[in-house]
Chains A and B, each alone.
Chain A
Amino acid sequence: MRAAVVVFPGSNCDRDLAMAFRHAGCDVTMVWHKDTDLPTGTDLVGLPGGFSFGDYLRCGAIAANSPICRAVRGHGERGGYVLGVCNGFQVLTETGLLPGALLRNAGLKYICRTVPLSVATSDSIYTHGYTAGDSIRLPIAHHDGNYTATAEELAALKAEDRIAFTYPVNPNGSDGDIAGILSANRRVLGMMPHPERAAEPDHGNTDGARLFAHLAGALAQA
C-alpha cells in the first residue's frame, strides 16, 4: 500500500506523518509541492501539519493552489484517500475537498497541549479501529483550528455521520465541538489533532496508532 506525503515550504510534521505511515506498513514517498503528479499507484495522500507558506494570506490558501494540490484534488475527486492533519485540514478546506473553513481560535491564542477527544464515528477507514464514543487523547498545536461551516453544511455533516472527532471540552470555539470531519464518500479525513504525535510508546501516548494501523491494514486488503 502506497502513501505519498506532501511537503510544502513550512511543513513541519511531514516526517512525523511519514514515520507513522511507515510504521503501519505503508510504502511512503515524499512529494514536493512543485511536483505536478502523485507517484503512480498512490493509495493515500498525507497532507501534514505545519505552516505552509508561512500561513500567508490564509492558512493553507497558497498550498491549496500549489501544483501538487491540483493532483491531490484529482486524487480525492477520483475517490482516493487523503488524510490532512492540522495545516493539512486547512489545506483540504481550501481545496474544497472538505466543506467549511478554519478560523482563528476563539481565544486568539496558539494552543499546544494534549486534549481529550471523542471518536464520533467508527464508520471510516481511519476510525474503524475505534468505537464510536471512545475517549482518546491527542495533541493539538494550532492557532487557527476554529472550524466553521454553514448551518446546512453542519446539519449535513451530522446527518451523514461525517463528524469523525469532537472535543469534549472545546479548546478553540469550533462549531459543534468539531475536531475532524470526513468527506461525503468518507475517504477524505481532515482533523486538527495530531495522531502522528501519539503513535509510538516513545511519544508517551499511542492513542493515534490505531488510526494508522487500521488505515494501513484496510488499504492493504483493498
Chain B
Amino acid sequence: MKAHVHVMLKDGVLDPQGEAVRHALGGLGFDGVQGVRQGKVIELDLAEGTTEATVRDMCERLLANTVIESYRIEMA
C-alpha cells in the first residue's frame, strides 16, 4: 500500500521559491497567475495495514516541520 504526503509551507509563511516561479511564469507571458506556492510530495511504500495515524506520526516527527509547514495525507 502507498501513502502520499503533501507538505506545503503554511499560509502566511513567505515562499520565495513560489514567488520566483510566479515571476518566471509572468515572463513567459502567462498573465493572471496571482500566486504560486511550492511544496513537496512524499510517496511512502508501506506494509499492508499501516494506519493513517502512523503516517501522521511520521509527519509530525520528521516529514514536516510543523513550525512552518502543513501536511496532508492521502492513503492509497
Are A and B part of the same complex? yes
Task: Give chain A's interface residues, CB within 8 Å of chain B.
Answer: 57-58, 61, 65, 93-94, 99-101, 103-108, 146, 148-150, 173
Does chain A have a CB within 8 A of B14? yes
Ranked nearest first, the 10 interchain pairs of A and B with the lowest CB-CB distance are A101-B67, A101-B68, A108-B16, A106-B16, A104-B16, A101-B65, A108-B20, A58-B65, A65-B62, A104-B17
Q: Count the A-B residue pairs with Cβ separation under 8 angstroms: how many?
A: 36
Contact (Cβ within 8 A) B16 A107: yes
What is the bound-complex CA distance between A65 and B42, given in angstroms?
18
Task: Give chain B's interface residues, CB within 8 Å of chain A.
Answer: 9, 13-14, 16-17, 20, 61-63, 65, 67-68
What is the bound-complex CA distance between A150 and B66, given in angstroms?
12
What is the bound-complex CA distance between A103 and B69, given in angstroms?
11
Contact (Cβ within 8 A) B63 A108: no
List chain A residues, Cβ under 8 A from B63.
57
Contact (Cβ within 8 A) A61 B65: yes
Nearest CB on B from A172, distance (A) = 10
* Additional 7 contacts, C-beta under 8 A, given A99-B67, A105-B16: A57-B63, A58-B65, A61-B62, A103-B16, A106-B14, A148-B13, A173-B14
Complex partner residue of A148 from B17, B20, B68, CB under 8 angstroms:
B68
